[in-house]
A and B are shown apart, each in its own frame.
Chain A
Amino acid sequence: MRQVTLTVNGRRRTAEVEDRDLLVDMLREKLRLTGTHIGCDTSQCGACTVLLNGAAVKSCSLFAAQAEGGKVTTIEGLAKGDTLHPIQQAFHEEHGLQCGFCTPGMVMLLHEFLRRNPDPSEHEVRTALSGNMCRCTGYQNIVASALHAAWTMRGEG
């Protein structure tokens, strides 16, 4: 066992983990942050996406020990009190989810992508989402949510 310390959603958190524990295991099992989901567990579906030092990563495909000392943002870290993050608000308004299982990963990926590209085309959004799978929506409303979020985050909303 080893101690891993991360700054998660702005708070220093330490947990005792096995070397083989994945980052997603530490977040869900040790820190009880269950908003990050395990979908495929084979790094295809993107449901486990979190930000590590600002970059979207699949937390099922790195060991907690590899993230030692890093800054992690999960879906729980986006809303400010009762005020949803603009990306979350956009998913709400555009009905960007049905079962909601893939949503945390979608939102975290878009968080990085919209910072890189604040005014994306629909095609760019679809390409960016290629590592995030949704089995309910057919993606249509997810793409609409992403474009809506980009629009409000540019201050045009």
Chain B
Amino acid sequence: MIPAAFTYHAPRSLRDAVRLLRAYEGDARVVSGGMSLIPAMKLRLVQPEHLIDIGRLGELDYVRRTEDGGIAIGAGATYRSIEKSRAVAAVAPMLVETVRQVGDIQVRNRGTLCGSAAHADPAADAPATLLALDATFHTTGGASRRTIQARRFFVDAYETTLGPTEVLTEIRIPKQPARTGSTYLKFANKASRFAIVGVAAAVTVDRRGVCTRARIAVTGAGPCAVRATASERYLTGREVSAEAIAAAAARASRGMEFIEDVHGSEEYREHLTRVITQRALTEAARRAGA
């Protein structure tokens, strides 16, 4: 398969990349790993006239600790570098667990977390985990630099709040509270390993085993990843037990929009959302020591 013709640009700096993006506004796409974009270009689902490659910029290739004990991941950082990072394993083990479930070795060697977030595939794994970790998304290239909360970033299928000249340059993950257990669990399409439904859950408990904070996010089920706020509210303030988790999970699909495709009906995805939420909460609570 041959993509439509385009001009490839390899800017030498982020500043140059933004300049190009502004010059070709509306006709350009940013590529980093290209693991989603290039297959889409080969199918001619996407036909940019200009391709601006930020995947070779050393300034964006980092995974590091921040001063406040969190993690900053640059737009050039591959899944592989996240998989190997001790800092990520210490601060956000759920992210390592998630990344290991993305694609295969070859895809993780090139694919990037920021690229996946900016692409916003409804069945991608990372968006759920980024929501559950309260990640922030940092951009440049718009009227001003922006910091976007995860809940405001994902808008619809393949749609984020990024403007046409904005580049997602960094994702930050804050330090998680003490006594937090987390996991990412998915029911995957057997062939592609994309999530039919994936749930990221982070549960914080106090010394008495009462849930003081819950973050639950679902991907694959609907047009974009969303938080299961009804479940979060139910569990918070309650003593964590199998019954409380079951009741919280039963509320997971409330207010949620579901998609229907060859892999499953809306009803099937709604059912899976509750089932996978229950399993994810059970494991997250166990890891929290509840």
Contacts and interface: CB of A to CB of B under 8 A. Distances in A.
Contacts of A130: 104-105, 193
Contacts, number: 77
A142 B252 CA distance: 42
Contact of A19 (B6, B39, B55, B106): B6
Given A19-B8, A66-B53, A68-B10, A61 B105 contact: no
Contacts of B191: 44
Contacts of A58: 106-107
Given A66-B34, A130-B193, A46 B104 contact: yes
**What is the predominant secondary structure among interface residues of chain B facing chain A?**
loop
A43 B56 contact: no
A61 B2 CA distance: 11
A93 interface: no
B109 interface: yes
A64 to B, nearest CB: 9
B259 interface: no
B42 A42 contact: yes
A120 interface: no
B143 interface: no
A20 B39 contact: no
Interface in B1-23: 1-8, 10
Which size bracket describes the interface of A in this complex?
Answer: 20 to 34
A127 to B, nearest CB: 9
A131 interface: yes
Given A44-B192, A61-B39, A66-B53, A131 B7 contact: no
A56 B2 contact: no
A132 B105 CA distance: 10
B2 to A, nearest CB: 7
Given A57-B109, A61-B34, A61-B38, A66 B103 contact: no
B8 A63 contact: yes
A62 interface: yes
Contacts of B7: 19
29 contacts: A19-B6, A19-B8, A19-B51, A20-B6, A41-B42, A42-B1, A42-B39, A42-B43, A43-B38, A43-B39, A49-B106, A55-B110, A56-B106, A61-B35, A61-B38, A61-B39, A61-B110, A62-B34, A63-B8, A63-B34, A63-B38, A65-B53, A66-B10, A66-B55, A109-B106, A112-B105, A131-B104, A131-B107, A132-B104
Interface of B: 1-8, 10, 31, 34-35, 38-39, 42-43, 51, 53, 55-56, 80, 103-107, 109-110, 191-193
Enumerate the 3 nearest inter-chain pairs by beta-carbon distance, A residue then B residue, closest first: A131-B104, A19-B8, A55-B109
